């Protein structure tokens, strides 16, 4: 079903090959952290980054907005500039485990994230969704997270395009502030 979200050809990184499906949903690219930064186990005490982030400052954690049950945070390895995630505070793996209040706020923050991205960057479209389970490509399978990936025609926008695996801390810090300022009140 995900193929319908990524059917348009892309030509972003020079090859000119319409491999958007591969590019967007391969596990390594959607992972929040990679390699040695991954959790050591499925529990909340096993180094889960999504459990640790809320204790950090907005700036250090790249947190864009904090709700009562759910928060929004930039992805360290973005598919596109502005790629963020909406994450419950509670360490929950499966979408069916969310309670009603978490489900509602996850949906509400997803809508506000779209509005913020439109306000800040004029995003033309979005890919929104969750990878449920490692087999489906979830980088941190033990703690669910909803990806919100802004899309532009040709994926050219006012923010410099981020390389697939490079992390540019200053760019991420600037992007976080832009989106936090553009977040609907
Ligand atoms: Zn967690």
| Per-residue pLDDT tens digits for 92-143 | 999 999 999 999 999 999 999 999 999 998 888 999 999 998 888 888 889 9
CA of 88 to the centre of ligand 1 (A): 9
Query: Which positions are catalytic?
Result: 145
| Per-residue pLDDT tens digits for 41-71 | 888 888 899 999 999 999 999 999 999 999 9
Q: Please give the angle made by the CA atoms of 17, 5 and 3, to the nearest 5 degrees.
A: 70
Compute and round to an integer the Cα radius of gyration of the chain.
15
Residue 171 has what pLDDT?
78
| Per-residue pLDDT tens digits for 156-168 | 544 444 444 444 5
**All structural domains of the chain:** 24-182 (3.30.428.10)
Q: Which residues surround ligand 1, an ion (CB under 5 A)?
A: 44, 48, 50-51, 91, 143
Is the pTM for the entire model greater than 0.85? no
Residue 54 has what pLDDT?
96
Beta-sheet pairing, 146-151 with 125-129: antiparallel
CA of 140 to the centre of ligand 1 (A): 9
Question: What is the greatest pairwise CA distance in the chain?
Answer: 45
């Amino acid at each position: 079903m995900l193929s319908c979200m990524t059917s348009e050809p892309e030509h972003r990184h020079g090859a000119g090959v319409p491999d958007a499906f591969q590019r967007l949903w391969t596990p390594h690219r959607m992972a929040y952290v990679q390699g040695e930064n991954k959790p050591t186990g499925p529990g909340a005490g096993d180094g889960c980054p999504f459990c640790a982030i809320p204790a950090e400052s907005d700036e250090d954690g790249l947190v864009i907005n904090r709700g009562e049950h759910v928060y929004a945070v930039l992805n360290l390895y973005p598919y596109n500039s502005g790629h963020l995630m909406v994450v419950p505070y509670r360490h929950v793996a499966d979408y069916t485990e969310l309670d009603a209040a978490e489900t509602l706020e996850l949906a509400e923050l997803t809508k506000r994230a779209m509005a913020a991205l439109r306000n800040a960057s004029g995003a033309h479209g979005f890919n929104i969704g969750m990878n449920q389970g490692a087999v489906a490509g979830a980088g941190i399978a033990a703690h669910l997270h909803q990806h919100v990936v802004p899309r532009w025609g040709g994926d050219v926008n006012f923010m410099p395009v981020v390389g697939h695996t490079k992390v540019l801390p200053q760019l991420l810090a600037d992007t976080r502030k832009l989106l936090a300022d553009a977040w609907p009140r």
